[in-house]
Amino acid sequence: MTQPGPQLEALLHRLADCPPDFLLPPHEISVPAILCDHWRVLGLHSPESAQLSFVESALPELQQLLAVLLWLLRDEWFVARPQLADATLRLLKSGQLAQLARLVGAEDFIHDPDRREELVRLCLMKLKLRPQGETAEQAADRLTTLDSVERDRVIRETRAAEARVREVRAAMARKAAEEAAARYSPE
């Protein structure tokens, strides 16, 4: 998050206005075609087919998220900066997006304000940008607050810790019952 980027509000508004066609299942919409079209709008040659294979082999939920993200990246701020194309390709191939797609449905990135902001901020961070008017620290802090993958990790760890506490309590109760039974049993 080194360079100032576009206004956060403009990107949030754009994402909220994403057409429903971008949420269609991958067999009804061609995400590789959307990507090639995006490159064409940037004035670049389409990525080689080998570079597109990651899209075609992606799980359906990731393909839907990629379609929504490509809608976001068609904002005129990004279109005016074709030098971000390589970083954009790295963003689209990012493992973070795959994790996010497994946890959150693509429609939530359009309809839920926190998920919308999370996707915009993740996109900017991966492009080494920060929202206009924010410091790098502010941008990173806000993204951490919204991070669905991190929240899922914390929830899983909390559930595991709670399960361990229940197991320890059950073991202590069994031991106390055994000791009580041993004290009162005739020898």
In a domain, 37, yes or no: yes
Is 70 within 8 Å of 119 (Cβ atoms)?
no
Is residue 39 situated within a structural domain?
yes
Domain extent, residue 57, equals 3-146
Q: What pTM does this model have? A: 0.78
**Residues 133, 157: Cα–Cα separation, whole Å:** 35
Q: What is the pLDDT of residue 165?
A: 79
pLDDT tens-digit profile of 5-56? 999 999 999 999 999 999 999 889 999 999 999 999 999 888 777 778 888 8
Strand bridging mode 3-4 / 129-130: parallel
Residue 111 confidence (pLDDT) above 90:
yes
Question: By the 8 A CB rule, do 66 and 58 touch?
Answer: yes
Residue 91 included in any domain: yes
Q: How confident is the model at residue 187 (pLDDT cuts 50, 70, 90)?
A: low
Q: Is residue 186 part of a domain?
A: no
Q: What is the pLDDT of residue 176?
A: 81
185 within domain boundaries: no
